[in-house]
Amino acid sequence: MRILRTIAEVRAAVRDVKAAGKSVGLVPTMGAFHEGHLSLMRAAREQNGLVVVSLFVNPTQFAANEDLSTYPRDEARDAALAEAAGVDILFAPEPAEIYPDGFATNIHVTGITEVLDGASRGPHHFDGVATVVTKLFGIVQPDVAYFGQKDAQQVLVVRRVVRDLDLDVRIEACPIVREPDGLAMSSRNVYLDADARAQATALSRALDAADAAHRSGESILSAAQAVLDEAGIAVEYLELRDAETLQPVTAVERDALLLVAARVGAARLIDNHLLRGATR
């Protein structure tokens, strides 16, 4: 595996591979790899001739009061894990390589970024995501890009960017990877102490209760809220939304997402579950 720092190096490497007729898979990350990240890398390895993983803690998607300065970073560990997963190139640029002096372009997606994490974290968050992902697509020119379904709203934002800007890349959303007790894997789980770690399992249990309520015709939101209340978790949001448009829904006629965000101990955690509708 090669660790590359510059856009020019990555473009040259990809150009050679594409000239040989091989496909390119990209896994955009902010590092602090866990099994969720590695599952994306393995999927990319199975499907492509070249696998590029970007490792870049993107400053533009953090607000001033968020954890940019303390976000977990360990490039040596991440590089070893990526290499073991079969990654060919780890693209680990400095911020100035991605955002040089005079950078003045921002990509804003309307309609699906103002709610949920967009409302909780602010409009800058998905602007930062959309802009950096578009830059990465321009740099790497991947045939396929892999994202985790845990960040369901982010996946929808990226899909919208690809559609609206006619970008020639397929977006592959891979299933959420969970700990044995159900907690969705996240780089921010390292912020949890033992008590908060145990409390955090209520998020996935709430989603399981909601799924059971959906199948039995009971109140989906009430079932989830009861589990969270019992665990003493005050949510930022717990909402049922259309799986494609993120419009609020009261009944699961089409596929819907139940999404939750909450601060547990020192960590802000998100999770979601897809509820299948009668019509698709």
What positions carry a catalytic annotation? 37
Q: d(Cα 51, Cα 167) in Å, to the nearest integer?
A: 19
In contact, 53 and 91? CB cutoff 8 Å? yes
Residues 6+ positions from 81 with CB-CB distance below 8 Å: 33, 37, 38
Pairing between β-strand 89-91 and β-strand 50-55 as defined by DSSP bridges: parallel
- Which two structure tokens, joined as six digits, stand for 177? 């990877």
Q: d(Cα 27, Cα 40) in Å, to the nearest integer?
A: 7
Secondary structure tally for the chain: helices H, strands E = 9, 9
User: Quick one: CA dihedral 27, 257, 228, 123, positive or negative?
Assistant: positive
- Which two structure tokens, joined as six digits, stand for 184? 């969705």
